Structure 1
Amino acid sequence: MNNIYWNGLRSFLAVAEHGSFTLASDETGLSKASLSQQVSQLEEQLDVQLLFRTTRKLRLTEIGERYYEMCRTGVKQIEDASDLASQATDSLTGPIRMNAVGGLIGEELIAPLVIEYQHANPGIEVKLDFSSIREDLLETDYDLVLRMGDLEDSTLIARKLHTITTRYVASPSFVSAHSKIRHPSDLKGLPFISGSVQEWIFTRGQERIVVQAEKGFQ
């Protein structure tokens, strides 16, 4: 429904309800000329005459009466729905299904923030699932997910929350027990402990080395 159609419909309803362009003008704040033009444009789009007009009186055509009754009901429902939606934003209620990374970040950072949010908004029920699986938001019931790394699907709406610096460390005994590590590629084949991150990525300039963490101990 374009603006011309919608404006014409509202003007027609006002004129039909008050039975006069003058009274409709007083009610809507639009000039009689604007009301008349908008109703004429509506009739042109519908290709039907809704009003009989003379210099002294106005009345609805037969199809105009039926159109008025149906549209009045429809517009009332739209207005009621708009009021309902506006009221819903005044107080937050309902469930939020969230999937987030687990481990230390999930337990120490995300969970306390979710609890604090629920205390501030008791009408909200956050259903939080910790998982490192990259869920497809279009295929699951999750409302939002929190992930680390680059966004693979550029069509999703995302917001950067924080930057985390990752460090890879080794004990002196581990270093002395194995060959010297001069390059990230030297890590391949070595035993190591990893968490939920399945890839260790090292970059320098244009060089990018990926070490698959699933080969170590998790």
Structure 2
Amino acid sequence: MADISLSDLKVFAHVAHHRGFQKAADALGVSRSSLSHAIKGLERRLGVRLLHRTTRSVAVTEAGEQLLLRLNPLLRELDDVLDAVSHGQDELVGTLRINASKGGARWLLKHVVPSFQQRYPRVALDLVAEGQLVDIVAEGFDAGVRLAESVPKDMIAVPFGGDVRFVAVAAPGYIQAFGLPVTPNDLMAHRCIRQRLPSGKRYRWEFEQGNRQLALDVPGTLCLDDNDLMVEAACAGLGIAFVPEPFARPALDEGALVLLLEDWTPASPGLCLYYADFRHVPAPLRAFIEVVREATQH
């Protein structure tokens, strides 16, 4: 197997991750035909088919999955060794691009970014906050930040910030005027501030108590797509909002809002920094992950 090149193995890892030659070619900055030629040569030398190809899609064969299982950790370890040799920790340079939810970006700005910039002043941090979940590899990001439940299954996830819960909140004046909901089903008779997801669908409010789980398409004439705006609307007495607790916490502490249905809103796994498991992990990202882990432990 001495004639199998490391370059061809990396090409296979890229094509397998993207499930297509064109996306892999775009990510690597090479032609589609060169990737196809490399894969055919690799399959010929190994004597097995690694990919099933059709005119519309690419799928990894069983032999290909077995190779990936062993190959990805080896590629990551090799990248770590090369980075350790070529860069001292105090000499990190480059740009780190991270796509995050608004809440995730807010947490990073408060707990991670100041320490990271002080420790690595030559690394430029490009932090993009947006509501819509994107393909971080296709869009050219080094990492993403989302709630654990939204992280793609083929990514490596680094939890941080602890668990989080969604809470139902309303202004005291609203409760005085319209009454206190005792169970989630009581919300069906209330004015709720509904949420529009980036996909265009309305978010169904999710509740849990023991083994009971509910997902309600609550009623309401006001629909928003931003957690901060929903909190402001609830403070103005426009209805009941359902948001991640950190967004509502300042208003709760000030008494501008009250918690509702607390025994129906348990905490769940919170934010994760995630990145592709097939690709070279650049030294700035590895350094950022270390600072994130430090901030989580404190």
TM-score normalised according to structure 2 size: 0.39
Question: What is the rounded CA distance, in whole Å, between the counterparts of 2:173 and 2:149 in structure 1?
Answer: 34
What whole-Å deviation, never above 9, does each CA across 1:160-201 have from its counterpart, x for those lacking one?
Answer: 112224432223332232255232133246334578985532
Percent identical:
20
Query: CA 1:84–1:141 in 2, change beyond 3 Å: closer, same or farther?
Result: closer
Question: What is the rounded CA distance, in whole Å, between the counterparts of 1:212 and 1:93 in structure 2?
Answer: 48
What SS is found at the alignment partner of 2:175?
helix
Partner residue of 2:207 out of 196, 202, 212: 202
Question: What is the rounded CA distance, in whole Å, between the counterparts of 2:83 and 2:102 in structure 1?
Answer: 37
Runs of 4+ in structure 1 off by over 6 angstroms are: 82-85, 194-197
Report how many aligned residue pairs link the two structures.
140
Q: Partner of 2:227 in structure 1?
A: none
Contact 1:190 1:216 in 2 (8 A): no
Q: Partner of 1:181 in structure 2?
A: 181
Q: Partner of 1:132 in structure 2?
A: 131
Question: What is the rounded CA distance, in whole Å, between the counterparts of 1:120 and 1:194 in structure 2?
Answer: 42
Shift of 1:204: 1.6
What whole-Å deviation, never above 9, does each CA across 1:84-130 have from its counterpart, x for those lacking one?
Answer: 77213543211110112215x633x3113213212210121110011
After superposition, where does 1:104-183 map in structure 2 within 5 Å?
106-107=105-106, 109-112=107-110, 113-161=112-160, 162-178=162-178, 180-183=180-183
Q: Identify the structure with bigger relative contact order (alpha carbons < 8 Å, sequence gap 6+).
A: 2
Max Rg structure: 1
Pairwise CA RMSD? 3.6
List gaps (5 residues or longer) in structure 2. 3-80, 198-202, 225-229, 231-298
What SS is found at the alignment partner of 2:98?
strand
Question: What is the rounded CA distance, in whole Å, between the counterparts of 1:143 and 1:189 in structure 2?
Answer: 45
Greater percentage in strand: 2
Query: CA 1:101–1:188 in 2, change beyond 3 Å: closer, same or farther?
Result: farther
List gaps (5 residues or longer) in structure 1. 3-81
